[in-house]
Chain A
Amino acid sequence: MKKYFSLIKASMSEGMNLFKISSKKKNATSKIVIPIFLALTLMGVMFSYATSIMEKLHEVHMEYVLLTLFILLTSVLTFIEGIYKSGSLLFNCKDDNLLLSLPIKKSVVLFIRVFKFYVFELLYNSIFLLPAIVVYAMYVKPDISYYVVSVIGIFLFPIIPILLSCILGAIITFASSKFKGKNIIQTVFTIALILGIMYLSSNMENLFVNIANNASNLNETITNIYYPAGVFIELATSFNIIKLVEFIVVHIILFALAIALTGKIYFKINSGSKSIRKSRSNKAYKIKSKKPICALITKEFSRFINSPVFVINAGFGLVLFIIACVSLVVKFDEAISNLIAMDAIFTAEYLKSYIPIILLGLISGCSFMTSITSSMISLEGKSFNILKSLPVKPYTVVQSKVLAAILIMVPCLLIGDIIVFVKFQFDMISTVLCLIASVLFPLLAETIGILVNLKYPRMDAKNDTEVVKQSMSSAISVFIGMILVGVTIYMLYSLVGTNLSNNAIMAICIGVFGIAYFALLMILNKTATKSFNDIDV
């Protein structure tokens, strides 16, 4: 037993350390204060959301619905994220040779990997769930059993979504390993699956209506579908020790069964996913020269394309942006007629005039929430020394990373822009402003990303997921992105009420971010070389 604990300890300390920063200044502030600050801020935001929902629910004495909604939210998030994270966390581990050569059962190796995934999701879910649990307690003032059930629930909720997403992730990895360009196939499969799930869930109104007809309300609808939410609400509202034991046992059995049954298949898929197809053709290799900056950009692009978790994490927002633009075009007429029917003062032309503002908001949301560069330094890993030994200025390397990210993002934004431009026929100024935003906002986001990654690099990650999803750099960049989206919405919202024209509002918004970009560019220019050289691998 002792060896298993040692194994879990070693594995956790190596792979799960979100707070690990490969920087010279490993001070307490960076290691502890920033992650705690980020977590507490997110919890604060969740607390305010939970409170505002609870105020409405309290009026109709349906406080428990809050718990149902938050359990569902965290479960869906864990499930969707898990689909693309599991491919990397379970199948691209660098410690395969070490672990498989040790005198331990293969199922233990699988258990450790799923357990690591579970612990991370447990921490992540707690940020969302704890505020809801506290808000419920504040309004309902339940007895001690509620707190006991809540603590147990927090530990159990991630299990089912993780198991389901691991199974789907394994299927995708298995299927893609059969093809030549397995990374690209894996990325396409995963994005298609996630979009499919999202499409299905948005088209399940009829199913929900049917269930809702048999159940009395939304809560029953959800609890009838999702076992953990159903049992938890039952336990939270009327405690029953037998039900609690059943709740725990069901989860443990599911976890143990999944590990035992999938153990053999997992290692087959794992070895299959590592087999690399060699070129069988005798095609002559090509020797061609490029300018250094072009070669660096090509290298970054190749790194991006070959990492499914990186593409999905960064590319998903871009795909959603295009979908949002298409939806705006397709659904606008229907929405306009509904709005006009509701309030006669609106005219189609009046509402149409706000489309550029909406598009600017969408560009902001997509750009600021998509930080590609926040992982690019960390993903170099040990090969970072190649860059350091080359006769290229560090600033050029940094620039190439930002440019590669821009080349990935801007075309997607332009596709969305053009779809909207064609339908709504923007005037010249609005068109130009949206085009400027489609270049400026990604530049700002990616400059922030690279600055954060230079400050908080993670050069010893075991796989890409640890960098893209579980590193300090990506967490800080997402946090800053959320703030910037908030700033955009606040600016647009507060200026729309004034006498300013829509173009003037957009120009002000772009101007503010333009100033921020040039300020950050100067900081990058000044600090990039030192930060780059300070990174020791």
Chain B
Amino acid sequence: MIEIKNVTKKYGDNVALKNVSFTVNDGEIFAFIGHNGAGKTTLIKSIVGIHEFDEGEILINGKSIKIDSINCKKEMAFVPDNPELYEQMKAIDFINFICDMYEVSQKKREENIKKYAKMFDIEKNLNDTIESFSHGMKQKVALISALAHNPKVLIMDEPFVGLDPKAVYDVKEIMNEMIKDGKIIFFSTHILDVAEKLCSRVAIIKKGELLKVGSMNEIKGDTSLEQVFLELEG
């Protein structure tokens, strides 16, 4: 479970997150939506321990990211919106590096890397350096690295940007498979159709303030998520 309690984050005088609170339960796909600069990436980076926040608390399966960040991070995986990977490394070396950090056993990593590399059709490119990859290929490498250690919580910032249709389909399949095992998927997106079809719950943020949070039916009722979003943003 991810518990976000009264989180506030400021950049100087600019309030990026204002008293944000909500919970993501086990076995949920949770979408976090908002316009550009609304605070989505700031919250995501706070959850995964990249940004420190000024007030509030974030708990990952009961552990505080502020106090016990290493153990929290061990349970999570993060896929950034613009994968800034180590360009000089071969893709396989990068994936191995991330596995080393999570201390993934040889057997488990062999199994997972092969499985996801095949799924994303990137097996032949794993010996190439990352600098030769397109955005979509880098995104695939970031996804394989994230999935290779079987995280309990998968956090993704705009995961579908740059991916080809087949890879988008595969990511959705992986997400559905993961929630069957009681894992958590938390992601931000601008693609409201995907969020509507895929997610059990959703949160909408505007200028650092949470406008709405709830199940998909509670949020959209008989209308579409797009319409609700535009009304709230309006």
- Answer whether A and B are interacting partners: yes
Any B CB within 8 A of the CB of A9: no
In the complex, are the beta carbons of B96 and A288 less than 8 A apart?
A: yes
In the complex, are the beta carbons of B92 and A292 less than 8 A apart?
A: no
In the complex, are the beta carbons of B70 and A276 less than 8 A apart?
A: no
In the complex, are the beta carbons of B84 and A299 less than 8 A apart?
A: no
Any B CB within 8 A of the CB of A390: yes
Give bound CA distance, A302 to B114, whole Å: 24
Known A287-B109, A391-B74; contact A299-B52, beta-carbon cutoff 8 A:
no
Q: Say which residue of A285, A292, A382, A393 sits within 8 Å of B103 (CB atoms).
A: A292
Known A276-B132, A288-B106, A391-B71; contact A385-B96, beta-carbon cutoff 8 A:
no
Give bound CA distance, A533 to B65, whole Å: 13
Any A CB within 8 A of the CB of B171: no
Residues of A within 8 A of B97 (CB): 295, 298-299
How would residues 513 to 537 of chain A score, 1 for a CB under 8 Å from any chain B CB and 0 otherwise? Answer: 0000000000000000000010010
Q: Which residue of B lies closest to A383 (CB)?
A: B84
Q: Say which residue of B80, B106, B132 sits within 8 Å of A287 (CB atoms).
A: B106
CB distance from A285 to the nearest CB of B (A): 4
Any B CB within 8 A of the CB of A107: no
Q: Which residue of A lies closest to B45 (CB)?
A: A385
Give bound CA distance, A97 to B233, whole Å: 34
Any B CB within 8 A of the CB of A286: yes
Residues of A within 8 A of B49 (CB): 388-389
In the complex, are the beta carbons of B92 and A287 less than 8 A apart?
A: yes
Task: Tell me which of B19-27, B120-128, B159-167 binds A.
Answer: B120-128
Give bound CA distance, A295 to B114, whole Å: 20
State the interface size on chain A (CB cutoff 8 A).
37
In the complex, are the beta carbons of A391 and B73 less than 8 A apart?
A: yes
Give bound CA distance, A61 to B176, whole Å: 88
Any A CB within 8 A of the CB of B86: yes
Residues of B within 8 A of A283 (CB): 127
Q: Say which residue of A289, A385, A533 sits within 8 Å of B80 (CB atoms).
A: A385
Residues of B within 8 A of A499 (CB): none
Any B CB within 8 A of the CB of A100: no
Any B CB within 8 A of the CB of A6: no
Any B CB within 8 A of the CB of A28: no
Give bound CA distance, A183 to B71, whole Å: 38
In the complex, are the beta carbons of B126 and A299 less than 8 A apart?
A: no
In the complex, are the beta carbons of A391 and B106 less than 8 A apart?
A: no
Q: Which residue of A lies closest to B126 (CB)?
A: A285
Q: Which residue of A lies closest to B95 (CB)?
A: A287
How would residues 141 to 153 of chain A score, 1 for a CB under 8 Å from any chain B CB and 0 otherwise? Answer: 0000000000000
Q: Say which residue of B78, B86, B92, B127 sits within 8 Å of A383 (CB atoms).
A: B86
How would residues 100 to 139 of chain B score, 1 for a CB under 8 Å from any chain A CB and 0 otherwise? Answer: 1111111001100110000000011111110110000000
In the complex, are the beta carbons of A291 and B100 less than 8 A apart?
A: yes
Known A391-B71, A391-B74; contact A289-B101, beta-carbon cutoff 8 A:
no
In the complex, are the beta carbons of B74 and A295 less than 8 A apart?
A: no
Any A CB within 8 A of the CB of B172: no
CB distance from A464 to the nearest CB of B (A): 11
Q: Say which residue of B78, B110, B114, B129 sits within 8 Å of A389 (CB atoms).
A: B78
Q: Which residue of B lies closest to A279 (CB)?
A: B127
In the complex, are the beta carbons of B132 and A389 less than 8 A apart?
A: no
In the complex, are the beta carbons of A276 and B52 less than 8 A apart?
A: no
Any B CB within 8 A of the CB of A303: yes
The residues in A between 263 and 292 inclusive whose CB is less than 8 angstroms from any CB of B are 276, 278-279, 281-283, 285-292
CB distance from A249 to the nearest CB of B (A): 43
In the complex, are the beta carbons of B50 and A383 less than 8 A apart?
A: no
In the complex, are the beta carbons of B113 and A392 less than 8 A apart?
A: no
In the complex, are the beta carbons of B109 and A289 less than 8 A apart?
A: yes
Any B CB within 8 A of the CB of A386: yes
Known A288-B106, A295-B97, A383-B86; contact A389-B51, beta-carbon cutoff 8 A:
no
Any A CB within 8 A of the CB of B195: no
Residues of A within 8 A of B219 (CB): none
Residues of B within 8 A of A291 (CB): 100
Q: Which residue of B lies closest to A293 (CB)?
A: B100
14 of the cross-chain contacts (CB-CB < 8 Å) are A276-B129, A276-B131, A283-B127, A286-B96, A287-B92, A288-B96, A292-B100, A383-B84, A385-B84, A389-B78, A390-B101, A391-B73, A391-B74, A392-B70
What is A's interface to B at a CB cutoff of 8 Å? 183, 276, 278-279, 281-283, 285-292, 294-296, 298-299, 302-303, 306-307, 381-383, 385-386, 388-393, 533, 536
Q: Told that A287-B96, A289-B105, A390-B102 touch, could you supply 17 new A-B pairs with CB distance under 8 A?
A: A279-B127, A285-B127, A287-B114, A288-B106, A291-B100, A292-B100, A294-B100, A302-B88, A306-B88, A307-B88, A385-B80, A385-B84, A386-B84, A389-B50, A390-B73, A391-B70, A393-B70
